[in-house]
Amino acid sequence: MSAKSMCDKISYTQGHELFLALVRAGLTPEIAQEVINSKGNKKAKAMVAAVWQESKKDDRFQSVSSFDIIVPEDYDHATHLDAFKRERGKEFYYYNDAITDENFGKASIKITPGRKFKVEVFQITKTMSSEACLKFLAEQGAILTGAQGASLVYEQAKDKLPKGRWHVSFDKKDCLWVDSGGRHRVPFVDACSDGDFKFNLGDFESDWGSDNCLLCFCDCD
């Protein structure tokens, strides 16, 4: 296929991948080519978008839950974590004392009052590095909210978190708190099988497995 026949905004290689995905979906090569060429056809565009998204799914991460949250009007990024511990800390079976505004105030994005997020929970199905998890989140268009985002999920949607899993809320590595052992610590909410919750820290330098889920925050449309 020529580059001119590709849909707008995708490369030649991506176009070829899309062509193959359309064929795998049951279209003949001729019809698949017609669909890709039909830039002005709304139905063709919808078909291309649906199949393209399906073809880009990553079986290393499985969507297991989704919900919406809204950043409260009284949210203050500079003081939120310490206030959260004062107000909610006793609800947790375990609360890591290192989760503080001082340690986790350096967020890559400081969320603001009134902002609405759709949060999708992805269970990790294979052993993955932190770098691979961040790459996947970037492909989803995720906003990295770190400890602050994890606390809001607990406040507003803890009942939507699958039990027996750590629900990890990443930030960029250089925004994570570094402990005395030189480890970059990653916040997570542990929704225990017995109904208890823990607010704890994992290690960026360690791998993640099937007991872990990613919290993927995206702006609501």
Domain that holds residue 34: 3-55
202 and 125 share one domain:
yes
- The torsion angle over the Cα atoms of residues 111, 116, 120 and 121, rounded to 10 degrees, is 50
pLDDT digits (tens, 9 = 90+) for 188-209: 999 999 999 999 999 999 999 9
Q: Judge whether residue 3 has pLDDT over 90.
A: no
37 and 75 share one domain:
no
Sheet with strand 94-95: strands edge to edge: 61-70, 116-124, 212-219, 165-168, 185-191, 197-203, 94-95
38 and 105 share one domain:
no
105 and 11 share one domain:
no
Per-residue DSSP letter, 5: G
pLDDT at 5: 40
Domain stops at, among 55, 79, 96: 55
97 and 203 share one domain:
yes
Average pLDDT score, the chain: 88
72 and 51 share one domain:
no
79 and 155 share one domain:
yes
Q: Judge whether residue 215 has pLDDT over 80.
A: yes
Residue 131, sorted as left (phi over 0), alpha (psi -120 to 50) or beta, turns out to be alpha
Question: What's the predicted TM-score (pTM) here?
Answer: 0.76
Give the orientation angle of helix 29-37 with respect to helix 12-24, to 10 degrees: 130
10 and 114 share one domain:
no
**26-35, 48-57, 108-117, 143-152: the lowest-pLDDT one:** 48-57
105 and 213 share one domain:
yes
Domain stops at, among 39, 55, 71: 55
pLDDT digits (tens, 9 = 90+) for 90-119: 999 999 999 999 999 999 999 999 999 999
pLDDT digits (tens, 9 = 90+) for 131-156: 999 999 999 999 999 999 999 999 99
66 and 151 share one domain:
yes
Q: Count the domains in the chain.
A: 2
Q: Judge whether residue 11 has pLDDT over 50.
A: yes
162 and 73 share one domain:
yes
- Are 55 and 18 within 8 A, CB to CB? yes
Summarize the confidence of residues 165-177 as an average pLDDT. 98
29 and 91 share one domain:
no
